């Protein structure tokens, strides 16, 4: 049986952590700090990748795409999240919620595909080094990046549209910190079996399958690295690969917890913190992981700093 609901939608209420006002006050400052670090760190990665000729390689082309993606991804939801942490009303209009959902899903799905592309790039670099420049030609890299962004957009248009076509009750309280598919499905008064099946299939296609491909690629990469005779070569290969694996673990570990967990109240409450992690913390950690473990990026930062300070002196 379905509940009677209004066809005209007013404002949604993003309930978030409203039951814990003190936690919201703490989260406001934590999220604000992380957001500022995200903007600074990812903008630096994009800048050095564009400015430094030594970083004009497939690996850093995809890394700059990831940084641009993280900038847009976190900016699609964090400013509104910060406002809601400070406001007692916590409202978001239906058009704003729909826009946030489209962008959020688009960029999230794009990151799933982009991380696979980056794993394939590492596979070719380590396992087929003599063919690397031919296989990962700039035109091919551009096509792979376009494929990632385009696939994410198509997936978002399909899933967001079917989710937003659901009837929502007049109270329209979204028990989450962002307009996300699981929370909106839970809010609807209609039979959501089709939407839940669609979400599960999308999660398998964008989370499980890519993760299998990434792990398979890295299994082959590890075998190739262990066959290397040069200890320096092994160390360099392991360094770049472990950075990417750490990013993959942070992103997939939290996103799968939201989209593939059982639908229980405890799981839903935990899902809010997981959403907070992959929307706020992960985009901050990505540039740190790549710069701290990568001599080429640190060298590029040093050269850029010298040029900047040199031009002002």
Per-residue model confidence as pLDDT tens digits over 79-129: 999 998 888 888 888 888 899 999 999 999 999 999 999 999 989 988 888
- Which residues in the chain show pLDDT less than 70? 1-10, 169-171, 261-269, 292-294, 298, 300-302, 304-313
Torsion on CA atoms 56, 58, 61, 65, rounded to nearest 10? 180
Q: 23 in a domain, yes or no?
A: yes
**1 in any annotated domain:** no
Q: Write down the pLDDT at residue 7.
A: 47
pLDDT of residue 244: 82
Domain assignment present for 161: yes
Residue 155 has a CB neighbour count (10 Å cut-off) of 20
- pLDDT on residue 32: 95
Produce one character per residue of 211-234: b if its CB has 16 or more CB atoms within 10 Å, e if not.
beebeebbeebeebbeeeeeeeee
Instruction: Identify the domain containing residue 233 by its residue range.
Output: 11-306
Torsion of CA 208, 211, 217, 219, to 10 degrees: -100
Instruction: State the Cα–Cα distance between residues 66 and 110, nearest whole angstrom.
Output: 9
- The answer to whether 69 touches 111, Cβ cutoff 8 Å, is yes
Sign of CA dihedral 273, 103, 9, 200: negative
Pair 47, 29: CB distance under 8 Å: no
- How does 270-294 read in b/e, with b if 16+ C-beta sit within 10 Å? ebbebbbbbbbbbbbbbbebbbebb
Is 313 part of a structural domain of the chain?
no
**pLDDT recorded at residue 10:** 65
Query: Quick check: is 171 in a domain?
Result: yes
- Select from 24, 112, 23 the least CA-distant residue to 73: 112
Note whether residue 241 is domain-resident. yes
The secondary structure element, H or E, covering residue 49 is helix 21-51
Structure confidence by residue, pLDDT tens digits, 144-167: 999 999 999 999 999 999 998 888
pLDDT for res 307: 67
* Residue 31 resides in a domain: yes
The pLDDT value recorded for residue 306 is 67
Name residue, tokens 């299994």: 219
Q: Cβ distance 34 to 284 under 8 Å?
A: yes
Q: How many structural domains are present in the chain?
A: 1
pLDDT for residue 1? 37
Residue 220 lies in a domain: yes
pTM of this structure? 0.86
Q: What is the CATH number of the domain that holds 87?
A: 1.20.1070.10
């Amino acid at each position: 049986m379905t509940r009677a609901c209004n066809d005209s939608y007013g404002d949604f209420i993003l309930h978030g952590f409203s039951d814990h006002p003190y936690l919201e006050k703490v989260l406001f400052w934590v999220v604000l700090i992380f957001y500022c670090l995200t903007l600074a760190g990812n903008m630096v990665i994009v800048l050095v990748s564009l400015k430094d000729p030594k970083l004009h390689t497939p690996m850093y082309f995809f890394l700059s795409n990831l940084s641009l993606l993280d900038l847009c991804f976190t900016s699609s939801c964090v400013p509104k999240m910060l406002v809601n942490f400070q406001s007692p009303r916590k409202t978001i209009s239906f058009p704003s919620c729909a826009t946030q959902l489209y962008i959020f899903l688009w960029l999230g799905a794009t990151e799933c595909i982009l991380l696979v592309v980056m794993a394939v790039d590492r596979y070719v670099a380590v396992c087929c080094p003599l063919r690397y420049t031919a296989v990962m030609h700039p035109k091919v890299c551009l096509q792979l990046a376009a494929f990632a962004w385009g696939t994410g957009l198509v997936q978002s248009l399909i899933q967001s549209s079917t989710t937003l076509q659901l009837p929502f009750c007049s109270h329209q309280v979204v028990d989450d910190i962002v307009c996300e598919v699981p929370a909106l499905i839970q809010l609807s008064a209609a039979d959501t079996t089709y939407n839940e099946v669609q979400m599960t299939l999308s999660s398998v296609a964008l989370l499980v399958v890519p993760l299998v491909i990434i792990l398979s690629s890295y299994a082959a990469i590890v075998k190739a690295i262990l066959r290397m005779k040069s200890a320096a070569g092994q160390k360099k290969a392991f360094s770049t690969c472990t950075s990417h694996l750490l990013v993959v673990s942070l992103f997939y570990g939290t996103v799968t917890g939201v989209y593939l967990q059982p639908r229980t109240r405890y799981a839903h409450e935990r899902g809010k913190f997981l959403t907070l992690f992959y929307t706020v913390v992960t985009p901050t950690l990505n540039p740190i992981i790549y710069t701290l473990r990568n001599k080429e990026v640190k060298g590029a930062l040093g050269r850029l700093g010298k040029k900047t300070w040199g031009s002002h002196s």
